[in-house]
């Protein structure tokens, strides 16, 4: 089992809240509800996963909860709404922190029963000008927010005040989440180390004749044994032409000698995702056409990683990768014309239809803007992004040379921007042709 760092200390969450409160300003209230539970079937729910913003600001992982922030309020700046202790219910559904735990362990200034949420927020935020709450994600939450706005609108002529502006907290909290603090970087390194162990095991144990789900089980088992709570997203285990389906999750086919196996799998540790892809031959060595495509993707991936440094833009790694991928496609005769023309007209798109990077953190496709003004955002220390170029030749692509049809390759690592360049968090997971073979 990998040594994993502990979950962030209460002081870490307190510091994040201090920054949020300072940024909000004294005329604002900010509201962060828990993620709703999701029904899997009938009366069975999916494993619960807290909303990432609420988790980031409070560490509170229970369902049916919410946080309200009131900068400068004499009634308390941090209000946490939770399920009260209830021994009978807890026997069925698990332990609760309760109101006392919310105050003591989670350092709420005031703890409330979640049953009182609606009237309490209506009252506590009634003297504010701006109300920060995410809308457009959950219709139930949206309806509640609209009811609050309706009440405040009705009261405003007589009270002379009340929130009249609804604002999205993403601009504040998602910007904070984009720059990982030391605690988060430790957890992301540890999440990456778990992914390294899991991918290593899959690479060693994959054999012709196995099924994709056996590899999935190996990965999931390794995640859990090393202390991760779950896969960070449904693991993709795609043999042969299944690898040309980007979000393939059937994971039921047989592994045939001579095919490639694409594994895109990452762990979730204290909420933090790793996101790693490797593509290796099943049993044998890369065939000549597999190797030709693989070496192009690997060269593109390494060059894109090398382009990650402070001052580069978010688009630079993609641009660098795309040029190498397209030059390679032209060399192999899969795309005609010049690199510049193929990029301008998108002739490569049948073979490379996704972007090279996304932010990574509490969410696999993490929050934070990719743009700054009219351009791509500059990379800065503390940001974490994936570098994941690929090439995919659909099995039924009649225009492509037959030897390449049904080959899908992606190589993905997680990269932290540092003061003087980058750190590959997922380094050490084999990807060189010699290492893999």
Shortest CB 41 distance to ligand GLY, Å: 25
- Residue 124 has a CB neighbour count (10 Å cut-off) of 19
Cα angle for residues 369, 370, 371 (degrees, 5° grid): 90
> Which pair of tokens denotes residue 218?
């190996």
Q: Which of 275, 279, 281 is nearest to 223 (CA)?
A: 275
Shortest CB 289 distance to ligand GLY, Å: 24
The catalytic position among 18, 137, 285, 365 is 365
Span interacting with Mn ion, options 2-10, 142-150, 156-164, 382-390, rule CB under 5 A: 382-390
**413 touches Mn ion by CB under 5 A:** no
11 is catalytic: no
Q: How far is CA 51 from the centre of its chain?
A: 12
116 is catalytic: no
Q: Which of 210, 211, 230 is nearest to 222 (CA)?
A: 230
Number of residues binding to ligand GLY, judged by CB under 6 A: 7
**264 touches ligand GLY by CB under 6 A:** yes
Q: Single out the residue of 275, 366, 413, 414 in contact with Mn ion (rule: CB under 5 A).
A: 275
> Which residue number, 62 or 264, has a Cβ lying nearer to ligand GLY?
264
The phi-psi region of residue 94 (left if phi > 0; otherwise alpha if psi is between -120 and 50; otherwise beta) is left
Q: Single out the residue of 53, 264, 315, 413 in contact with Mn ion (rule: CB under 5 A).
A: 264
> Which residue number, 67 or 243, has a Cβ lying nearer to ligand GLY?
243
388 is catalytic: yes
Binding mask 387-426 for ligand GLY (x = CB under 6 A): -x-----------------------x--------------
Beta strands (DSSP E) in 20-151 are: 28-33, 39-41, 44-45, 66-69, 78-82, 110-113, 130-132
Shortest CB 160 distance to ligand GLY, Å: 50
**363 touches ligand GLY by CB under 6 A:** no
> Which residue number, 77 or 264, has a Cβ lying nearer to ligand GLY?
264
412 is catalytic: yes
Residues 224-253 that bind ligand GLY (CB under 6 A): 233
79 is catalytic: no
Shortest CB 293 distance to ligand GLY, Å: 19
Shortest CB 273 distance to Mn ion, Å: 9
Let me know: does 353 contact 392? Beta carbons within 8 Å.
Answer: yes
Number of residues binding to Mn ion, judged by CB under 5 A: 5
Q: What's the CA gap between 106 and 111, in Å, rounded?
A: 10
**386 touches Mn ion by CB under 5 A:** yes
> Which residue number, 98 or 368, has a Cβ lying nearer to Mn ion?
368
Q: How far is CA 84 from the centre of its chain?
A: 31
* 240 burial type by CB count under 10 A (0-12 exposed, 13-18 middle, 19+ buried): buried
Q: Single out the residue of 62, 77, 184, 275 in contact with ligand GLY (rule: CB under 6 A).
A: 275
Give the CA distances from residue 133 to residues 53, 121, 125, 149, 322, in Å, rounded to whole numbers and listed in that order.
11, 12, 12, 11, 38
Burial call 74-94: b when 16+ CB within 10 Å, e when fewer = eeebbbbbbbbeeeeeeeeee
275 is catalytic: yes
**212 touches ligand GLY by CB under 6 A:** no
> Which residue number, 62 or 412, has a Cβ lying nearer to Mn ion?
412
**268 touches ligand GLY by CB under 6 A:** no
Helix (H) or strand (E) holding 285: none
264 is catalytic: yes
Q: What's the CA gap between 390 and 116, in Å, rounded?
A: 51
The catalytic position among 77, 392, 413, 422 is 392
The catalytic position among 62, 212, 363, 388 is 388
Helices (H), 94-232: 98-104, 117-124, 139-159, 170-178, 182-205, 212-225
247 is catalytic: yes
The SS3 assignment for 357 reads coil
Q: Which are the contacts of 87, defined by CB distance < 8 A and separation ≥ 6?
A: none
Binding mask 337-376 for Mn ion (x = CB under 5 A): ----------------------------------------
The catalytic position among 354, 380, 396, 399 is 354
Residues that bind ligand GLY (CB under 6 A): 233, 264, 275, 358, 364, 388, 412
Q: Which residues bind Mn ion (CB under 5 A)?
A: 264, 275, 386, 388, 412
Residues known to be catalytic: 43, 247, 264, 275, 354, 358, 365, 388, 392, 410, 412
């Amino acid at each position: 089992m990998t040594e994993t760092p502990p979950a962030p200390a209460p002081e870490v969450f307190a510091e994040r809240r201090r920054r949020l409160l300072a940024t909000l300003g004294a005329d604002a209230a900010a509201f962060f509800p828990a993620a709703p539970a999701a029904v899997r079937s009938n009366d069975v729910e999916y494993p619960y996963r807290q909303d990432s913003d609420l988790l980031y600001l409070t560490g509170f992982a229970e369902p049916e909860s919410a946080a309200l922030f009131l900068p400068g309020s004499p009634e308390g700046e941090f209000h946490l709404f939770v399920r009260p202790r209830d021994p009978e219910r807890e026997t069925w559904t698990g332990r609760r922190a309760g109101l006392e735990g919310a105050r003591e362990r989670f350092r709420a200034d005031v703890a409330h029963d979640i049953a009182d949420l609606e009237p309490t927020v209506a009252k506590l935020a009634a003297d504010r000008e701006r109300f920060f709450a995410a809308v457009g994600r959950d219709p139930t939450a949206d309806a509640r927010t609209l009811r609050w706005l309706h009440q405040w609108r009705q009261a405003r002529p007589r009270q002379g005040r009340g929130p009249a502006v609804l604002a999205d907290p993403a601009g504040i909290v998602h910007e904070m989440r984009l720059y990982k603090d030391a605690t988060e970087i430790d957890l992301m390194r540890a999440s990456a180390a778990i992914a390294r162990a899991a991918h290593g095991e899959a690479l060693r144990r994959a054999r012709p004749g196995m099924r994709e789900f056996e590899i999935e089980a190996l990965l999931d088992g390794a995640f859990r044994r090393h202390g991760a709570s779950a896969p960070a997203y449904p693991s993709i285990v795609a043999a042969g032409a299944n690898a040309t389906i980007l979000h393939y999750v059937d994971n039921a086919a047989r592994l045939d000698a001579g095919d490639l196996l694409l594994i895109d799998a990452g762990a979730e540790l204290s909420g933090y995702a790793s996101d790693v892809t490797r593509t290796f031959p099943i049993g044998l060595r890369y065939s000549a056409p597999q190797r030709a495509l693989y070496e192009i993707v690997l060269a593109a991936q390494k060059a894109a990683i090398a382009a990650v440094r402070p001052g580069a833009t978010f688009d630079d790694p993609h641009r660098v990768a795309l040029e190498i991928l397209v030059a390679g496609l032209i060399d192999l005769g899969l795309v005609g014309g010049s690199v510049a023309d193929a990029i301008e007209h998108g002739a490569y798109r049948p073979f490379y239809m996704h972007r090279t990077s996304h932010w990574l953190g509490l969410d696999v496709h993490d929050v934070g803007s990719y743009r700054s003004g009219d351009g791509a955002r500059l990379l800065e220390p503390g940001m974490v992004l994936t570098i994941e170029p690929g090439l995919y030749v659909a099995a039924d692509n009649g225009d492509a040379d037959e030897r390449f049809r049904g080959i899908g390759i992606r190589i993905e690592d997680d990269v932290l921007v540092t003061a003087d360049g980058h750190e590959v968090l997922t380094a050490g997971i084999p990807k060189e042709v010699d290492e893999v073979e």
